[in-house]
Amino acid sequence: MHAETVEERIRHIAGSLAKSDMPPRWPPDVFAICASLLMCSGAYSLAVDDNPIQGDPVKSANRSKLIDSVGEQWRIAAVGPKKLPKEVKNWWATLFKNKETEVAEIGNNRRLCAAIINLLSASDSASYGIGIYFPDGSRTGKKGQDKFLEKADGRLLDTLNDKLGSTVCIKVHQSKGRVLPKMHTPQNGLTIRSFSHHLAFSVAPDISPAWLNAGVDDGDHKFNILVVPWPDVINPNQFRPSRKVNVSDEIEGASYGLFTYAASKGPAASFINRLITDAKRRIGPVDAIVFPELAMSEIEFARLSKTIGTGRLLVAGIGREAMEPFKSGQNEAILQVPVPFWGGQVHTQSRQSKHHRWKLTKSQVLQYGIGQNLHPSVNWWEHINLEHRTITFVTLREWLTTSVLICEDLARPDPIGDVLRAVGPNLIIALLCDAPQLIGRWPGRYAGALADDPGSSVLTVTSSGMANLSQPQPGRTNKCRTIALWRDAKAGVQEIELAPDAAAVLLNLTV
């Protein structure tokens, strides 16, 4: 069997760039090529080998300063007439000289390995600030436009509605690999994600990411999230079968069922406006409002968003019950995002379908008391279509980029995990239709994994209706009102309880 060479790997990633002895001018393209070579060869592990990389002209003591200097020169040359830095040309020449080397053997050629790592580092250093909003002139710390960021942000915008999603690459197609802005570098373990601060590489063609910049003023150290655990009442008969296979009182072999959920009526706009007013009086302006999974219908969200969504992020789980037996239901998240437009602000909506079906097991059927409609001895699968998988990243502050998951998507990390861990959003919001958010339950465990790697903060949110529907945990005699859970890499985990006389929780986040 033929072993892939360096040239063939570059051709796979970037086509005609494999034949050029001159490096690409656009740093994210080089980043994608080098990240792919290091991933496929595993040679990145040699960067912390006990034996120094032979032939690397960069001494470890001077490497950081040199890489930053080369990156800054490259950043300017990428969008102007200036020549590329000689170091970039030399490193690429080493790569091109060894193009017949088998990818698996890159680690045995220390000079080649050093060149690839240096190219990756310099292209990452050149790309600081991509995807993060700053006011005019502050991207570079001085007055004037940053043409590099204008081009990069323009590329993210141009690819926003692409079927395969956002990327900052120009020559590398998303089907071969994508490069996105990056928020967190993992502090544990050693993977290709450990090698960059500003750019993330992902090879997940079945995920379409969308990158939205909300354009919020820089320098604001706080962000207030109003969590509305709607609905406050859920009845067992809102869960019903939509299709059965070998299901009756006498369970037959290979039996299973499809169930659907009838979403409750959404809250009145006047009710939410009162919550906003009260929150503003107590703490300050509300920057975002979050509703749990299946909180309302799409029509009700559209009605509500016109009144309460002005100037703030609005996140809600929407749903529609299945029309038995073959018409699937709906389970999606909608993000309504304020974005800058011609000196003003408009709102854009991003939709995100659930990636995995909810599987109701016997223990859950009994826990929620829904055995009247759903036989406890059968596995029940949520009757929804699994649409093309997408994920939206929204930049809200220089220090805050958030993304949203829907229930099972938190527990089933494939295939979304590759993109999510590569980008490392500062805040992941998981919308759940689940029991109380107690530390020992599954949301806390999976949130802990993301808090550890890549280092994201995770907020899980369920409705007070589902918390009330759930039977008390062993050792508890009363219904639990813990409707949210917070977990991060610094402060650990914290249960968030809805006070007896409260209808919402206001979270004050600070950097």
pLDDT per residue, tens digit, the chain (511 aa), is 678 999 999 999 988 776 778 899 999 999 999 999 999 999 888 777 656 555 565 556 688 899 999 999 999 999 999 999 999 999 999 999 999 999 999 999 989 999 999 999 999 999 999 998 555 544 444 444 689 999 999 999 999 888 899 999 999 999 999 999 999 998 888 889 999 999 999 998 889 999 998 865 555 789 999 999 999 999 999 999 998 888 877 777 778 899 999 999 999 999 999 999 999 999 999 999 999 999 999 999 999 998 887 789 999 999 999 987 778 999 999 999 987 766 667 788 899 999 999 999 999 999 999 999 999 988 899 999 988 899 999 999 889 999 999 999 999 988 999 999 999 999 999 999 999 999 999 999 999 999 999 999 999 999 999 999 998 766 655 678 999 999 998 889 999 999 999 999 999 999 8
Q: Judge contact between 322 and 294, C-beta under 8 A.
A: no
What are 172's two structure tokens? 């590398």
Q: Judge contact between 176 and 22, C-beta under 8 A.
A: no
- Helix segments in 98-169, DSSP class H: 110-125, 147-158
Residue 156, domain member (yes or no): yes
In our burial notation (b when 16+ CB lie closer than 10 A, e otherwise), range 257-280 reads bbbbbbbbebbeeeebeebbebbe
| Whether residue 159 is found in the same domain as residue 233 | no
Residue 395, domain member (yes or no): yes
Residue 210, domain member (yes or no): no
Helix, strand, coil distribution of the chain in percent, nearest 5: 35, 25, 45
| Whether residue 187 is found in the same domain as residue 270 | no
Cα Rg, the chain, nearest whole Å: 25
What are 367's two structure tokens? 């826990």
Task: Look at residue 134 in the predicted model and tell me its pLDDT.
Answer: 57
Task: Look at residue 188 in the predicted model and tell me its pLDDT.
Answer: 84
What are 251's two structure tokens? 């369970």
Position of tokens 């409260």? 502
Nearest Cα to 173, choosing from 185, 153, 155?
155
| Whether residue 189 is found in the same domain as residue 232 | no
| DSSP notation for 318-343 | EEE--BTTTB-BEEEEEEEEEEEETT
Residue 217, domain member (yes or no): no
Q: Computed from CA positions of residues 13, 14, 18, 19, in that sequence, does the dihedral angle turn out positive or negative?
A: positive
| Whether residue 315 is found in the same domain as residue 262 | yes
| Whether residue 462 is found in the same domain as residue 500 | yes
d(CA 219, CA 149): 19
Q: Judge contact between 426 and 397, C-beta under 8 A.
A: no
Measuring CA to CA, how many Å separate 442 from each of 257, 426, 436, 450? 24, 21, 11, 13
Nearest Cα to 184, choosing from 355, 403, 363?
403
**H or E element in which residue 244 lies:** strand 239-245
Task: Look at residue 142 in the predicted model and tell me its pLDDT.
Answer: 43
Nearest Cα to 334, choosing from 357, 356, 351?
351
Residue 209, domain member (yes or no): no
What are 50's two structure tokens? 């006990």
Under 8 Å CB-to-CB from 52, ≥6 apart: which residues?
60
| Whether residue 191 is found in the same domain as residue 239 | no
What is the pTM assigned to this prediction? Answer: 0.93
Task: Look at residue 98 in the predicted model and tell me its pLDDT.
Answer: 94
- Give the number of other CB atoms < 10 A from CB of residue 248: 10
| Whether residue 296 is found in the same domain as residue 178 | no
Q: How many domains does the chain have?
A: 2
Task: Tell me the β-bridge partners of 213.
Answer: 395
Q: Judge contact between 321 and 260, C-beta under 8 A.
A: yes
| Whether residue 356 is found in the same domain as residue 504 | yes
Please say which residue of 171, 203, 235 terminates a domain. 203
d(CA 391, CA 399): 19
Task: Look at residue 216 in the predicted model and tell me its pLDDT.
Answer: 56
Task: Look at residue 75 in the predicted model and tell me its pLDDT.
Answer: 97
Where in the sequence is the domain holding 300, given as residue range(s)? 222-248+255-510
| Whether residue 348 is found in the same domain as residue 421 | yes
Measuring CA to CA, how many Å separate 426 from each of 138, 335, 422? 21, 17, 12
Task: Look at residue 187 in the predicted model and tell me its pLDDT.
Answer: 85
Residue 214, domain member (yes or no): no
| Whether residue 226 is found in the same domain as residue 158 | no
Task: Look at residue 137 in the predicted model and tell me its pLDDT.
Answer: 42
Residue 151, domain member (yes or no): yes
| Whether residue 187 is found in the same domain as residue 309 | no
Q: Computed from CA positions of residues 477, 478, 479, 482, in that sequence, does the dihedral angle turn out positive or negative?
A: negative
d(CA 202, CA 421): 9
Q: Which amino acid is at 24?
A: P
Q: At what angle do helices 6-14 and 27-41 cross, to 10 degrees?
A: 130
CATH number, domain containing residue 330: 3.60.110.10
| Whether residue 197 is found in the same domain as residue 226 | no
Task: Give Dmax (Cα) for the chain.
Answer: 78
